[in-house]
Amino acid sequence: MPLFDTHAHLSSSQLESQLDEVLQNAAEQNLQGITSIGTNLASSKACLELAKTHSQIYAAVGVHPNDCHQATDADWAEIQTLAQHERVVAIGETGLDRYWDTVPIELQRTWFAKHIELSFETKKPLVIHMRDCDADILAMLNEHQRDGQIIGILHSFAGQWSTAQRALELGMYISFAGMVTFKKSHELREIAAKIPDDRILIETDSPYLSPHPHRSTRPNQPSLVRHTADCLADVRGTTANEFDELSTANAMRVFGIA
């Protein structure tokens, strides 16, 4: 059955330098779509170029919380324009990060709020990065929701179940990356087992962290999303085919792909 990698950084040098092979491997695993995620103006533009020239690639445009101290108002104006393009299916990646702590949290919040505004304006979902800051993310979502809704994805989820629950109430999707396949990730698998069928997504977050049993494989790449799908089918007590089908349908729905 087809698969959809909802979060890959195809414009990163590790993947773009071998893109033909990466896309060939993805096709062999029956990947129907890959959303390539921008982290600043340059990579957002590069992702859109890839999406314009490859029918299976879609783009997300935005400024990563760890990059926002280097972005200008002019960059944001261009991202707002890019966001209107039909091949751009999401806004991000945005969010908050207290792990690296390289950018003041107030500045991260300001940029996150801009992305939320753009998401409502374009009716395209947010791609949200959340690292060591469940409470901060929830506060932002609660403050900025409209009519009890935020359209978006908590990407590479590694937070608490209560955070996932609140995001689900707001209508959001929860996406799991290769970390869920790691031996020690019991708690994360328990959370993944409880996400409703119509709200779970899978991703690689490539070129970073490859899934088990390819942890030493570098770079990670979209074809390896197969392992995350199989792991989640297993913990959710469903067949691989059923899980592939529902997670792909969820990806198409959240990104508004017909």
Residue nearer to Zn ion on the CB measure, 67 or 205: 205
Residue nearer to Zn ion on the CB measure, 38 or 200: 38
Q: Residue 223: what residue type? A: S
Shortest reach from residue 240's CB to Zn ion, in Å: 25
Which residue reads 């590479």 in tokens?
Answer: 156
Shortest reach from residue 114's CB to Zn ion, in Å: 18
Structural tokens at position 147: 């009519």
- Of 52, 78, 64, nearest to 7 by C-alpha is 64
Which 192-251 positions form the footprint of Zn ion (CB under 5 A)? Answer: 205
Contact between 19 and 10 (Cβ < 8 Å): yes
Contact between 251 and 4 (Cβ < 8 Å): yes
Shortest reach from residue 129's CB to Zn ion, in Å: 6
Q: Label residue 256 left, alpha or beta by phi (over 0 means left) and psi (-120 to 50 means alpha).
A: left
Structural tokens at position 219: 């770079």
Residue 23-62 contact track with Zn ion, rule CB under 5 A, x = bound: ----------------------------------------
Shortest reach from residue 147's CB to Zn ion, in Å: 29
Residue nearer to Zn ion on the CB measure, 233 or 247: 247
Shortest reach from residue 205's CB to Zn ion, in Å: 5
Give phi and psi for 5, each to the nearest 5.
-90, 110
Q: By CB under 5 A, how many residues form the interface with Zn ion?
A: 1
Residue nearest to Zn ion (CB): 205
Shortest reach from residue 213's CB to Zn ion, in Å: 22
CA dihedral sign of residues 35, 39, 44, 46: negative
Structural tokens at position 84: 């209107």
Residue nearer to Zn ion on the CB measure, 35 or 223: 35
Residue nearer to Zn ion on the CB measure, 41 or 233: 41
Instruction: Give the residues lining the site for Zn ion (CB under 5 A).
Output: 205
